[in-house]
Amino acid sequence: MVENKENLIKCAKCSFKAPSNVWEMKLLGDRFLLCQRCRDYSRGYYNNQSEETREILLAKASNRYATDENWRNHKIVEITALRKSKINCTACGKLMQYGSLLAHKKCCKGGEAKSTLTQLLELSVANGPLVDSVFTC
């Protein structure tokens, strides 16, 4: 399929538009519905919530995970793809599979800083793969 440069894609939330050939793809190959800015905003929104609000949001996602089979299966596929994807350790720069990152962080001498994605992965390991799409439209 040839990508048409005039083929602009619009963010599902704001008025941002970009050609389809530069629009970011998810790990599974489908396009994000929201632009980078809106996705950063959603992530920031979650990170800025109080402990209790986050628990409510996670409980909602947890409930959906338990009751919505299609969504659950989709999340499992997403997390599986995430774990198999390659990533550089942010502390020491070593390239590895995402799924190995948690074990590596425990023995990595490069530093302690955790990325948001790492925290999500930790949560998904603890609670099942449910966290990363709490705010997906």
Binding stretches for Zn ion (CB under 5 A): 11, 13-14, 16, 35, 38, 89, 91-92, 108, 110
Between residues 32 and 71, which has the closer beta carbon with respect to Zn ion? 32
Q: CA-CA distance, 64 to 57, in Å (whole number)?
A: 11
Between residues 2 and 113, which has the closer beta carbon with respect to Zn ion? 113
Please report how close the Cβ of residue 96 comes to Zn ion at its closest, in angstroms.
8
Please report how close the Cβ of residue 12 comes to Zn ion at its closest, in angstroms.
7
- Which two structure tokens, joined as six digits, stand for 131? 């966290």
Between residues 108 and 123, which has the closer beta carbon with respect to Zn ion? 108
Q: CA-CA distance, 129 to 83, in Å (whole number)?
A: 11
User: Which residues, in sequence order, are CB contacts of 137 under 8 Å at separation 6+?
Assistant: 12, 13, 33, 34
Please report how close the Cβ of residue 135 comes to Zn ion at its closest, in angstroms.
12
Report, in angstroms and rounded to the nearest whole number, the Rg of the chain calculated over CA atoms: 17
